[in-house]
Structure 1
Amino acid sequence: MPRKPKHPCSYPGCPELTDKRYCESHEKLMNQNYEKYDRNKSSKRRYGRAWKRIRDKYVSLHPFCEVCYEKGILVETEEVHHKKPLSEGGTHERDNLIALCKSCHSRIHAERGDRFNSNREYTY
């Protein structure tokens, strides 16, 4: 299947072409700005250094999207999703986690009726 053509980086004034929203240099900058200025303070507490270790370990054990894998499709894991959200009493335990690609992750949140606001935080 042919790939989509690259498009300009969304960072103002950047002429680099990319497959993602931002080129590699601006993606890192935008992620840092998001973590520093835009991310909800309560999410920072729930998704700190411990979550990163848990997530990285889970991704190493589940390198492919578990939903796509069941269909016989190999898609690299991009998100680790809580089956029962932390806001509803879920935990970081392995039986509450599932490895997903961005497409499956978005579909799950859409099916739940979660809204995605401009600050990248899901509201339940």
Structure 2
Amino acid sequence: MPRRPRRGCAASGCPRLAVEGGQYCEEHQRLAVQQYNKHTRSPDTNKKYGRAWKRIRDRYATAHPLCERCLKEGRLTPVEEVHHILPISQGGDHRESNLMSLCQSCHTKIHLEMGDRQIRS
């Protein structure tokens, strides 16, 4: 059975043929893999956020069912996320004194204020 003809590279303006079974030429394939891997979590993430964290998070959310930030402003909003007041990356831990139950909106606002997230347009 004849093979399917190779396609052109999917990178804009690239005149080369894509590697067999892929959509990019060798050069752009390497760049695409680097770009993809740039956004992966570090290997020790599961040590920080594994099954134990899920149990801690669920227990805390059950004990604090309303968004703590909204509650201070007089709104009753159900909890959607549990936030570390001092992030794990900066030496925080999973102790209850370092946790805060938040709705999605308040959690996003906190991270925007911290400067570790940007507004996407």
TM-score between both structures, scaled by the size of structure 2: 0.61
Q: Which residue of 80, 91, 107 maps to 1:89?
A: 91
Residue equivalent to 1:13: none
Mark the runs of 5 or more structure 1 residues left unpaired by the alignment. Answer: 1-37, 117-124
State the distance in 2 between where 1:82 and 1:109 align: 11
Q: Within the alignment, does 1:115 sit opposite 2:117 as a pair?
A: yes
Structure 1, residues 65-123: CA drift from partner, whole Å, max 9, x if none?
0000111111110010000000000000000000000100000000011036xxxxxxx
Q: Measure, in 1, the Cα distance between the counterparts of 2:42 and 2:105.
A: 23
Aligned residue pairs: how many? 80
In 2, the alpha carbon distance for the partners of 1:76 and 1:40 equals 31
The residue that corresponds to 2:52 in the other structure is 50
Q: Rg bigger for which structure?
A: 2
In structure 2, the gaps of 5 or more residues are 1-39
Q: What RMSD in Å do the two structures reach over aligned CA positions?
A: 1.7
* 2:93 match: secondary structure: coil
**What secondary structure, in the 3-state scheme, does the structure 2 residue paired with 1:54 have?**
helix
Higher strand share: 1
- Match for residue 66 of structure 2? 64
Aligned equivalent of 1:105: 107
What pairs with 1:34-45 in structure 2 (closer than 5 Å)? 39-45=41-47
Q: What is the CA–CA distance in structure 2 between the aligned matches of 1:89 and 1:39, rounded to whole Å?
A: 18
CA distance in 2, matches of 1:113, 1:39: 19
Amino acid at match of 2:60: Y
Structure 2: distance between partners of 1:64 and 1:57: 13
Opposite residue 50 of structure 1, the aligned amino acid is A
Deviations along 1:25-54, whole A, 9 cap, x unmatched?
xxxxxxxxxxxxx55433222100100110
